[in-house]
Amino acid sequence: MELPVSKAFEVSSNTGLVKIIYDNYKKNPQKFVDRLYNMGLHKPLRTFNTRRSNA
Tell me the C-alpha distance between 27 and 45, whole Å.
30
Banded model confidence at residue 32, pLDDT cuts 50, 70, 90? very high
Burial code of 9-40, b = ≥16 C-beta within 10 A, e = fewer?
eeeeeeebeebeeeeeeeeeeeeeeeeeeeee
Banded model confidence at residue 15, pLDDT cuts 50, 70, 90? confident
Tell me the C-alpha distance between 27 and 35, whole Å.
15
Better pLDDT: 48 or 3: 48
Better pLDDT: 53 or 14: 14
Other C-beta atoms lying within 10 Å of the C-beta of residue 45:
5
For residue 54, give Cα distances in angstroms to 46, 51: 24, 10
pTM for this model (two decimals): 0.56
Banded model confidence at residue 55, pLDDT cuts 50, 70, 90? low
